[in-house]
Amino acid sequence: MHGADVAALLNALPASTLPVELIALRDLGAVVDLEEHWPVVHITKIPIQYARLGIAALPVFAGVNIGAGFTTLAWLDATPKKAVTLVVDPSVPGTLTTFAYNWGDRITAVIIKGHQVNPDPIPDILSRCVNVQSVTISGTIQNTITPVAAATYLSVLRTTQLVTLKVTVAARDALDVTVVVAWLQGPSAASLLLSCASVSDPTALASAIQNCSTLSSLTLNNAFDVQAALVSSPDTLHHVTALSLRQSAAQDDVPIDVLLGKLDRTKVLSLSVQSNRYQARLLGDVIGVLGMCPSLKSFYLDNWTLPAASMTGACPCLTSITLRRLHFDVVGDVAKIIQLLSTSHCLLSVDFCGTKLGSESVFALARALPVWMARGLQTLHLDNTGLGDADAGVLRLRLRRRATAATSRST
């Protein structure tokens, strides 16, 4: 249910039938847009004069978001029982330290957006969040986070209940991952995103990743030494169901197809392999994974050259596929991929942006598109695919025939 639906429902019900917190929510919806505050209330966006209304309505919200720059101390009178997300950016004046002191045991998620303030308040804020389950350390272009600062933040984290950890640093210095390794050796780690040039001990981190049976989601942006250590290790990644890899121009080639071979293909739900190199490098037969992972829901490839692919199997659970800026050694493989996509029963999004489609692929797409649409396709992106007027005419004709056939059946 959307915020507008909630407001309409409350306005339609007699006030005498509503409990106090729903009356407060109704009145709050009259002065702020509930679309911005449902199901999680963003208290930084609520004007100070309406803080009391927000506090009274707090029990009906699924969570609380405290953005950077928050200054309304009236909220300290509230006692939130739902999840609280704290967004920390010391470059924006606010009173987040006060909230960390008062709500520290209720804060379950922390998002850190920068650190360029002395003295740095972030270590103290993090140390107060004793029940945190999700931490994101990620600076902005203007306010980056260095590996040294990130390591300091990690060192004060309470990781007992930590489920999700995302760390993004900009400098080329190695990130100290001692705390990350220890966390992965505990019982709660489920999702790790690491974006850095390198780490202090790639072998130890790779071993911890491969032996963490609870870790289901792994994202490595660059971190070449970690990717290489995972490839060279004899251990598997059978517990990982969502894998995302990105390689940069500064990296040597890591045989990603070897890394993918360590996954249990019967369990894989999501795969993403991206490159930000100027020129697309050759990637192994990754496309063949499409038909070999029966539970796969999302598949993303960007900026690669692909060899001849083996197209067997089916992808019945696939909902989203992105094949951007790809160069195929065998042009006809695109048509085969399109045919394979028709084995999905729930395809919602297809993106071929930047991938050249030959005439064979256009005809395959024209045949497949009506089937995809009948099954619920919502978006199709064909920017910079080399389609000409004749190709557009083929697609238009096929869709017109589908519309005519549908009208005839309806009649």
Q: How many domains does the chain have?
A: 1
Non-local (6+) Cβ contacts of 405 within 8 A are: none
Is residue 227 in some structural domain? no
Is residue 241 in some structural domain? no
How big is the CA angle at 137 (ends 133 and 140), to the nearest 5 degrees?
145
Helices (H) and strands (E) in the chain, counts: 13, 15
Non-local (6+) Cβ contacts of 16 within 8 A are: none
Is residue 324 in some structural domain? yes
Phi-psi region of 51 (alpha: psi -120 to 50; beta: other; left: phi over 0): alpha
pTM of the model: 0.89
End-to-end CA distance of the chain: 35
- Note down the domain range covering 333: 274-411
Q: For residue 391, give the CATH number of its domain.
A: 3.80.10
Q: How far apart are CA 63 and CA 258, in angstroms?
A: 41
Q: List the structure tokens of 245.
A: 């890899």
Is residue 232 in some structural domain? no
Is residue 410 in some structural domain? yes
Q: Alpha helices, DSSP H only, in 30-146?
A: 51-57, 96-103, 122-128
Q: How far apart are CA 401 and CA 147, in angstroms?
A: 58
Phi-psi region of 301 (alpha: psi -120 to 50; beta: other; left: phi over 0): beta
| CB-CB contact of 306 with 286 (8 Å) | yes
Non-local (6+) Cβ contacts of 43 within 8 A are: 51, 54, 64, 65, 66, 67, 70, 72, 75
Is residue 368 in some structural domain? yes
User: What is the predicted pLDDT for the residue at 250?
Assistant: 59
**122: nearest Cα among 106, 138, 133:** 138
Is residue 56 in some structural domain? no
Is residue 352 in some structural domain? yes
Q: List the structure tokens of 257.
A: 């197809």
pLDDT tens track of the chain, all 411 residues? 788 888 888 888 888 888 899 999 999 988 999 888 899 999 888 988 999 999 999 989 999 998 887 777 788 888 788 889 998 887 776 777 888 888 888 899 999 987 767 788 899 999 999 999 999 999 766 778 889 999 999 999 999 999 999 999 987 889 999 999 999 999 999 999 999 999 999 999 999 999 999 999 999 999 999 999 999 999 999 999 999 999 876 566 788 888 999 999 999 999 999 988 766 777 777 888 889 999 999 999 999 988 888 888 999 999 999 999 999 988 889 999 999 999 999 999 999 999 999 889 999 999 999 999 999 999 999 999 988 888 888 888 877 765 554 444 443
